[in-house]
Chain A
Amino acid sequence: MSTYKDPELAQIQVEGTTRAVFLARATLSAGAIIGAGSLSPFVSGAIAQSGGGDVDILNFALTLEYLEAAFYEEALAKTKGLSDDVRKLAKELGDNEAEHVDALTAAIESAGGTAVKAPGVDFGGAFADEKTFLKFANIFEDTGVSAYNGAAPMIESKEVLGAAGSIVQVEARHAALIRLKRGKAPAPQPFDKTSTMDEVVKAVTPFLK
């Protein structure tokens, strides 16, 4: 039987990362491409944004979507022995995540904010085989659902809330499809759990570099 806390998620949680650091990390890796000289504006920008209401939440979501999009892209290139149907699913899910990245970026800009850049990622041994890939995909999708559900009530703008709701529904659908492929219950609980931003940050920090 499933317990309330996902044990797989708990395993990968690490201590001591704050939301500001998380956003800073995401922008830092982008800064690295531009050059050390341009780092500080990125970092201060990210930290300034971490108190910025809807833009902050959108940037938080954007970082997660970047992570998911990169995950599927790498999975398609690297996972050994992907069956045709799982490959097709990974492509479809990854395409959706890429659209989420574009939409969130546009939403942040139209709200007058600065969108975080794609974070550097390291998925470790996630692509060793199809089974491992599906396990990690399951973690990312379920984490995405709990992250959006946790953040959405803090959103001030009805339009942004509508967009977040529209995206989380798709994340939940993804989670169910991946779970079916794993032979797991697609909807393990009658109420999906919510995560705080800090919990999500802890869960995904191991995949950021």
Chain B
Amino acid sequence: MPPSTPTPTSALDELARDETSRKKFLRMMGGGGAAAGLSVLLAACGGDDKKTASTSTQTGSEPAPSGSSGASGSSGGGDIDIVNYALTLEYLEAEFYAEAAASGMIKDKKTLALAKKFGETEQTHVDTLLATVKDLGGTPAEKPKTAFGKVIEGGPEMILMTAATVENLGAAAYLGAAGLIESKDILAAALSIHSVEARHAAALNELVGRGFKGGGALEGSVPDGAFAKPMTMEQVLEQVKPFLAS
């Protein structure tokens, strides 16, 4: 039973009210069926108070029995690991934008608004992936302890350059993981996040002036030319190490 819908304030609120879009999105999120799918959707959409939404809407669906193997057929432990991997990266991104926005380092209003918007999107990805792991009967990865201090102290240019690189990394990570996903529903959801990471990456690399092709592997608005290159989990973890607190 869906909770009563508040006045629509976001695209996802709109989605919750629109029958056809909702069906499409539920198909996309899939996993534990319509009820669980809706809880994922509502947990993700919360607008200004997403934290309360994510707890209150979970109760509607039967919790998946933890530890039961093969409960949902095609989406086994492999998918849980991949979603947790994505969750960890999204935690990292969301935390970085949150710290950067709160630091007061970004003075340009438009840039600050963009950073905030991107950060909200990453937080929505966190909420959604976290709910998805639960739907699959898994244990969500914990929020990693991060170390962005030096980057943020480096000022707005270093912050944006780092964000641009990290978004390219995120896009490459999703691309590398997509082929390993077993469930079509999880794959569809991952792809719909993958292209958003790519949008973020292109926009930020353009804004920091790296140009179309850019310089290094993760630098540029379309850094790999016509065909984006995937990265393996090992390659991605190597790149994010500097941002993790030891």
Contact = CB atoms under 8 A, between A and B. Distances in A.
Nearest to A195: B24
Contacts of A153: 184-185, 187-188, 191
Interface in A184-208: 185-194
B98 interface: no
Nearest to B186: A153
A187 B229 contact: no
Main secondary structure of the interface of A (DSSP, over half): helix
A95 interface: yes
Contact of B230 (A154, A166, A175): A166
Contacts of B187: 152-153
Given A4-B15, A153-B187, A165-B175, A187 B193 contact: no
A34 B64 CA distance: 60
Contact of B227 (A148, A152, A167): A167
A168 B195 CA distance: 7
Which of the listed residues B18, B191, B206 has the most CB atoms from chain A within 10 Å of its own CB? B191
A103 B228 CA distance: 13
> Would you call the interface of chain B mostly helix, strand, loop, or mixed?
helix
B179 A176 contact: no
Interface string A157-175: 0100111011111111111
Contact of B178 (A3, A92, A161): A161
B21 interface: yes
Interface residues of B, number: 51
Contacts of B202: 172-174, 176-177, 186
A128 B161 CA distance: 36
A165 B179 contact: yes
Interface residues of A, number: 48
Contacts of A177: 202-203, 206, 221-222
A165 to B, nearest CB: 5
B226 A191 contact: no
Interface string B15-48: 1001001001100100000000000000010000
Contacts of A99: 225-227
A172 B11 contact: no
B121 interface: yes
B11 A145 contact: no
Interface in B70-94: none
Given A4-B15, A166-B229, A194-B24, A145 B195 contact: yes
Contacts of A14: none
A194 B191 CA distance: 9
A174 B189 CA distance: 21
Contacts of B225: 96, 99
A2 B192 CA distance: 17
Interface of B: 10-12, 14-15, 18, 21, 24-25, 28, 44, 117-118, 120-121, 124-125, 128, 171, 175, 178-179, 184-185, 187-189, 191-196, 198-203, 206-207, 212, 221-222, 224-230
9 contacts: A96-B222, A153-B185, A169-B194, A171-B195, A172-B195, A187-B199, A190-B124, A190-B125, A191-B25
Given A4-B12, A166-B227, A187-B121, 5 more contacts: A4-B21, A145-B195, A165-B228, A188-B11, A194-B28
